[in-house]
Chains A and B, each alone.
Chain A
Amino acid sequence: MSARFEGIGLVSHDVVVVGGGLSGLVAAIRLAQAGRDVAVFATGHGGLPLAPAVIDVLGYGEGRVTAPGRELPRFLAARPDHPLARIDPGALAAACAWFLELAAPLGYQGTVERNLFLPTAVGALRPTAMVPETMAAGDLAQGGSVLIVGIHGYRDFYPQLLAANLAAAPSPFGSRIDARGVEVVLPGNAGSLRPQLLARRLEQPQVRADLASSIRSELAHEERVGLPAVLGLEHAREVWSDLQDAVGRPLFEIPTVPPSVPGVRLQALLTRSLRRLGGRLVTGAAVVGGEGVGGRLASVRVASSAREVEVRADHFVLATGGVATGGIVVERGGGAREVVLGLPTTAVGLQRDPSSGYFSPRAGDRLGLAVDRLLRPVDRQGQPVYANLHAAGAILEGAVPWREKSGNGISLATGYAAATAILGGSQ
């Protein structure tokens, strides 16, 4: 009988990141920049292709926030378990500066010192800190007069509704917003258009020239022009600046309902950056468990197509998201479970309070992992569960991102800070 080759199903890296959303990719890129051999395992794409790709830091505290940098110390002092309160006070600013450099190919701009107020797909004003160049002219903090242009056949954008809501919206400084909505027809367009197809089509110079001339013929006294965020996929800045020149007014993209073209652009930029730094990204492979040895996480188990593979690393980042994305599962009866490693979550009591409104605070809003200053998940005694496991993003306890408008800011800052912790503290 011949000797058998026993498959051991083993791979190893310096750092393994679990989760491919914004926080996971940020941590991975920063570690790869520092020369670490990094692999990201993700069950699927994170929220990036769905979301507007703007970086909110703090939109609402005690009311609408115009200067998050100024408001944050007070906001966090009242919330010591908030993710941004856990990390080094300088980490947020460092992460933002780092992000602006990384995302320079998409012309990201902005600062935590001042929120921009961008129209949403339904014409509300969204306070946000950093935005791609293609959206920046949509800042209506000081009011203004805008023409909102829809494209016939692209069915998920309603220019008249958007304009009517904008005109009715209280602008943060009391200035008036004058808005009008129109729909133009792109030549050769029959049937329904999906955002990505539209984005690709607008990469052809003739198509955008046609669009520009339709917009010009609709334009009256308006100072600015807003369009759905479908202005190009790979060459968005070129499409946007061409259109703006041809229309002759400042022009901006308005984030749409999913799928989000700006989100796809940002995701492509981040994954490309990771790859070019030698990082690995395995999409579709769920991490299903892990093995701890002597207070450290030694390996995780990854479900490949035929069997589970043991992946070892010196450090791990858990960035699987919160309840909404399946990093934490709420169970019948109100318990909650962290799905990959069974880490302890915030105590709950998730029973629905029938008297509360849809957006009113309720138990479980801040559900997540409790962590120490190095973002390591801790047990009930406050001790790190594993010395080399860090958590980042929506899985952390203490924030209510949908009410605070703080989601991407938390993901960026904690992803960055988790990498800092692994690199030994230096920013």
Chain B
Amino acid sequence: MSLEPTAEFEVRSSLDHCVKCTVCESACPVAGVTELFPGPKTVGPQAERFRAGAHSPDLSVDLCSGCGVCSRVCPHGVRIAEINSRARAELKREHGVPLRDQILARPGLMGRAARPLAPVFNWALGNSTVRWLGEHTLGVHHLAPVPRVAARPFSSWARRHRPLRSDRHVIYFHGCSTEHFEPALGKQVVRILEHNGFSVLIPKQDCCGLPLQSNGLFEPSRRYLTRLGRQLSVVDGEGLPVIASSTSCGLMLKREGLEILGLRDRRLVGVSERTYDIFEFLAELREREELVTDFRQLRLTVAYHAPCQQQNQLIGKPALDLLAEVPGLRLVEMEQLCCGIAGTYGIKREKYDIAMEVGKPLFADIADCAPDLVACDSETCRWQIAKATGLPVVHPLEVLYRAYGGI
């Protein structure tokens, strides 16, 4: 018998460190815009005391967007967002999960199902009647940002791609969004890593289970993530770094799966310890003076927003340091914390207004900056910002790719 405390125990018992100081309340993006959400302290460490073996005292924890700002700012190490995430899952278990959330939580399935009909699907998403119906039947807000399905998935390019011959290898974890919605990003990641001398291994892979987790569907989420751990371990060379370009999915691999879902799978733990955010990895190359820096001049103003899940990795903002080396580039760091979307949160009819209100200061700052491009590491945040500002929004890696001359 193991005497190691379970993840559930560690998350839950952290509430005993809460001194009710309200730092989390003062930073919570959602509590800052709506009275409907009583704030992270109240729904987290306060309400949790009433949840042991009983029903949740109220439903307001469902309005927590899961951005994780509260856990980051807590000076006492209370895992507030993680407590909330678990409480939400319990709430869903008790009250059921709407069909909409079941669908939104499975982007891989959605992408695969939509691909054969991609042109029709994409047209429909732009059609106001269809969107009106979507809101009234499913509860997906008619103005919410939704991605377009790519005609060809990233994996079909990856299968045909001949890897660079090199004795330095990395594993690429591309995630569902690159696979189904933004395959160009995946190609840029591979080209940049190859330009820096790495042979990129791209094992077949499925969803990390993050949208399932954030929608309270823990059981399927555990299955997805455990499977992903297996998929990313099978290639020759256990011990290779795993590079993630989707920052939220990278964090799921790094920590959330272990902490929130309580997984202890040996292979997953191994992958978790070796997972790098793409810019974290490149910054480390730079630190060793191994980064190729044959950048060409980019006469651009770029507004950079580091999204919540990137910040929750606790690695700072390596994209800022790296892109600072690109000649001619004017990179402006945005100071607001959150764009509001929080994965699938802001897509939902009942949460759309809150999400837009949360994002308002960021959208205003971006407008003030009048950039040529906006850069942001998270896909759903890119879609939200693009929709709200009308500006082109890219992964910061695309800026680097351009600086490399489109290789």
Contacts and interface: CB of A to CB of B under 8 A. Distances in A.
A277 to B, nearest CB: 11
Interface string A254-291: 00001110011000000110010000101111100000
B58 to A, nearest CB: 14
Contacts of B191: none
Interface string A214-238: 0000000000000000000010000
B340 to A, nearest CB: 15
A11 B282 CA distance: 12
Given A10-B284, A305-B315, A4 B75 contact: no
B32 A43 contact: no
A309 B31 contact: no
B314 A7 contact: no
Contacts of B26: 45, 49-50, 196, 258-260, 263-264
A283 B72 contact: yes
A307 interface: yes
Contact of B22 (A9, A50, A193, A302): A50
Interface in A1-52: 1-5, 7-12, 39, 43-46, 49-50
Contact of A259 (B22, B77, B254, B315): B22
B284 A8 contact: yes
Contact of A194 (B21, B25, B72, B335): B25
Contact of B35 (A49, A197, A303, A306): A197
B33 A200 contact: yes
B314 A284 contact: yes
A304 interface: yes
A204 interface: no
B12 interface: no
Interface string B265-286: 0000000111110000001100
A305 B312 contact: yes
B204 interface: no
B32 A2 contact: no
Interface stretch (B124-132, B164-172, B219-227): B164-172
A326 B77 CA distance: 11
Interface in B234-287: 236-237, 239-241, 251, 254-255, 272-276, 283-284, 287
A10 B168 contact: no
A271 B34 CA distance: 25
A2 B236 contact: yes
A71 to B, nearest CB: 31
A305 B75 contact: no
A192 interface: yes
A325 interface: yes
A2 B35 contact: no
A393 to B, nearest CB: 13
B161 interface: no
A43 B77 contact: yes
Contact of A46 (B31, B72, B75): B75
Contact of A2 (B21, B73, B169, B317): B169
B71 interface: yes
Given A192-B35, A264-B26, A304 B287 contact: no
Contacts, number: 135
Contact of A197 (B21, B32, B236, B288): B32
Contacts of A285: 314-316
Q: Most chain-B CB neighbours within 10 Å: which of A7, A193, A286?
A: A7
Contacts of B199: 2
A215 B128 CA distance: 48
A305 B68 CA distance: 13
Interface in A124-140: none
Contacts of B71: 284
B75 to A, nearest CB: 4
Contacts of B311: 283-284
Contacts of A264: 26
Given A11-B283, A196-B32, A306-B255, A5 B314 contact: no
Contact of B21 (A8, A39, A50, A200): A50
A7 B241 contact: yes
B213 interface: no
B152 to A, nearest CB: 29
A63 interface: no
A303 to B, nearest CB: 7
A58 B73 CA distance: 30
A49 B27 contact: yes
B313 interface: yes
B35 A11 contact: no
Contact of B23 (A9, A45, A305): A45
Nearest to A191: B35
B51 interface: no
B90 to A, nearest CB: 24
B307 interface: no
Contacts of B313: 304-306
Interface string A297-312: 0000011111101000
B391 interface: no
Contacts of A193: 35
Interface string B307-350: 00001111111001000000000000101000000000000000
Contacts of A304: 313-315
A191 B21 CA distance: 22
A302 B272 CA distance: 17
B240 A326 contact: no
Given A200-B32, A280-B316, A306-B255, A326 B75 contact: yes
A7 B284 contact: yes
A3 B75 contact: no
Given A4-B239, A44-B73, A305-B251, A282 B23 contact: no
Nearest to B31: A194
15 contacts: A3-B168, A10-B287, A49-B22, A50-B22, A194-B35, A196-B26, A197-B35, A275-B333, A282-B314, A284-B71, A284-B311, A305-B251, A305-B254, A306-B255, A309-B315
Given A8-B284, A49-B27, A303-B314, 4 more contacts: A10-B288, A196-B32, A200-B33, A305-B254
The 6 tightest CB contacts between A and B, nearest first, are A284-B72, A44-B75, A259-B26, A306-B254, A285-B314, A49-B26
